[in-house]
A and B are shown apart, each in its own frame.
Chain A
Amino acid sequence: MEPIIEIKDLGKKFKISHQQKPYLSLRDSIFTILKNPTAIFESKEDFWAIKNINLNIGYGESIGIIGKNGAGKSTLLKILSKITPPTTGKIILRGRVASLLEVGTGFHPELTGRENVFFNGAVLGMKRHEIKKKFDDIVSFSGVEKFIDTPLKHYSSGMQLRLAFAVAAFLESEILVVDEVLAVGDSEFQKRCLGKMEEVTQKQGRTVLFVSHNMGQISKLCPKSILLEDGELRAFEKTSEVIHHYLSHNFQRDKSVFEIENLQSYQEACVSKIEVTDVQNNLKQNFKIGEKYKLRVHLELLHDISSFVVGIGFVSEMGIPLRSIWTTPQDYKKGKYIFEFEEKDVCYGKGIYNLTIGLSSHLNAIFYKEQAGYIVFSDESILPYVLNSGAVFIIANSLSYKYEKVD
């Protein structure tokens, strides 16, 4: 079957003049030409937001779009939604496109919820009778029934968001283009949206293009993803592969000493440094799968603390917390310590593992820091097999730790 979206040699060029302004001013244009009449003919600097994109997307596929800020993700979506035309190439669409580049486009604070639903729905391409038909469903999905005839300005931002997403959730089109809209709102809202998105992609079998910086969301919704880098298509394959490729190429993952800053606010205890080393205590950035590592945590107790625990959490590159290790509660005297953690029989799959570090006393957290550091495991394996990204293989619970007081 022919693909539902066919993108051929797509490119979009912007001209950037050297004095970038929010808008052009007539005076500037006239003066430039008066001062230097040849300026009209001088070519301005070209900037290709995207170039040479070739892509075929089949019916019912949901594709994640991954890339750094400025990689061209939004430009690609804008061209697909006809907001801006491409400079080269073409796109053949074999279905209607509904694009959701933001939720609540055109919401006006003076209008009531009801009025805003009608306008927002119409702007997103729904017909009036369509909105009327779905109106009750939209309102009950949003959960703001009681306030539907109240002006939007009296809504909390969460209510506005829920109403806005509810309208979008009832769009009917073969192709749905979604840009980072799930990045807003609280976790309950995000869960709800994600659930709806799953329904759209998996149950209704629609074609979805989904941009997000949240790798967990992308890998949950999209079996396949594309990677954009500097406007070019770098990869189009299984999402986990693309994410791994993206994370390992776009972030400097070559540190083994992590200094933690801004510690002034901690009154009781704080972690100042984490070091990742091999078993011989040499600093190391990149481990082979199955290779043993050690974590050295430098911390300071500002006074004597009883029933004190140091904990380290491992979070996968998809943002999923995998496991944590803890010391046994014990009383410590004021001072600086180095805790050394070692695990003999735990293997991690290839990938990057972010470290969360926490200190507690009598089960109350006194220090907590996410992404305090990371460990990287490469493709190479010293085991007879390769573990996939995010996989942890615990042969035996073999945590050992020791500490020394340094001051």
Chain B
Amino acid sequence: MANKIISIILPKSRFSFGLKELMQYKDLIYIYAWREVKIKYKQAVLGVLWIVLQPLILMLIINLFMSKIFNTNTAISMPYYLFVYSGLILWGLFSNIVNNTVNNIVSNAGIIKKVYFPRLIIPISSGLAALFDFIISYIVLLVFLVITDVNLLFHFNILYLVFSLMIVVLFGLAMGIIFSSFVVKYRDFKYILPFFIQLLFFASPIIYSFESKISGIFKYLYYLNPLVLAFDLFRKSFINGDIALQDSLLIITVVIIVLIIGIFLFRKTEEYIADII
């Protein structure tokens, strides 16, 4: 009979990211993500089709009303609908990760109170579920590219794509877990979150580009938003363009630091989450 100590429960554990434990729970991460995707489209007749329809319809609306205003912008070096669609799907990835993480922490309170598992599973699987949506709408983007100009595919820059996705996913996770740490304690942050998301939407080059219209201190503030670079990288991955590599690495480093702070905060919250949620 086994007689070795399997685990010790102590008042406060030493800080760790708990990566080893997360690996033991990888099946749960997978099932959690899969469950989220299923639940989301279960009762819709069109089901998974909505993943594609949402950004597509939004793109048509924006194109209808905004193209006259923003089309003349010299910073946009591609058809406006392509600019908007690519912007919307990447934005969708970011906002889904943040929103799903925060909502899932609150809506899974019942599970959190009754079962133990590393709570980081919830943000991670929320991220995976958002990534699933993204991949499907990305395939549609590729179709658009082929329709627009087949040659675009030959300039494809996979490194830019990977960097941009890294920034969006990691930054989304960081914001998600930081907000959920606060929401667990103060529900006020649930109401602050939509404003924060809205602010980022307008501050990022999603449906327009205003890079050339700002200067001075605002320019610094503008580039402080990691998403600015992510959108730039994302679009330049399929149209020819250059981006300084060190900028990307710098932003990725910053995002990772923010993420580490977020994980630290989240792990602290995790200790008493079942008591106060």
Contacts and interface: CB of A to CB of B under 8 A. Distances in A.
B276 A24 contact: yes
A25 interface: yes
B185 A82 contact: no
Contacts, number: 119
Interface stretch (B106-114, B135-143, B222-230): B106-114
B36 to A, nearest CB: 10
Given A88-B11, A110-B39, 9 more contacts: A24-B185, A27-B188, A85-B11, A85-B12, A86-B11, A95-B6, A102-B114, A115-B35, A119-B31
Nearest to A88: B11
B1 interface: yes
Interface in B44-97: none
Contacts of A102: 114
A127 interface: yes
Contacts of A1: 1, 3
6 contacts: A1-B3, A80-B9, A82-B7, A85-B11, A92-B8, A115-B35
Contact of A99 (B39, B115, B271): B115
Interface of B: 1-13, 27-28, 30-32, 35, 38-39, 42-43, 108, 110-117, 185-189, 271-272, 274-277
A57 interface: no
Interface of A: 1-2, 14, 23-27, 29, 59, 78-97, 99, 101-102, 105-106, 108, 110-111, 115, 118-119, 122-125, 127-128, 151, 174
A59 B114 contact: no
B6 A96 contact: yes
Given A84-B275, A88-B11, A115-B38, A105 B27 contact: no
Contacts of B35: 108, 111, 115, 119
B39 A108 contact: yes
Contacts of B113: 83
Contact of B9 (A91, A94, A105): A91
Given A24-B186, A85-B271, A174 B8 contact: no
Contact of A122 (B27, B116, B274): B27
A186 to B, nearest CB: 23
Nearest to B112: A83
Given A24-B276, A119-B31, A124 B115 contact: yes
A84 B31 contact: no
Contacts of B112: 83
A87 B11 CA distance: 5
Contacts of B4: 94
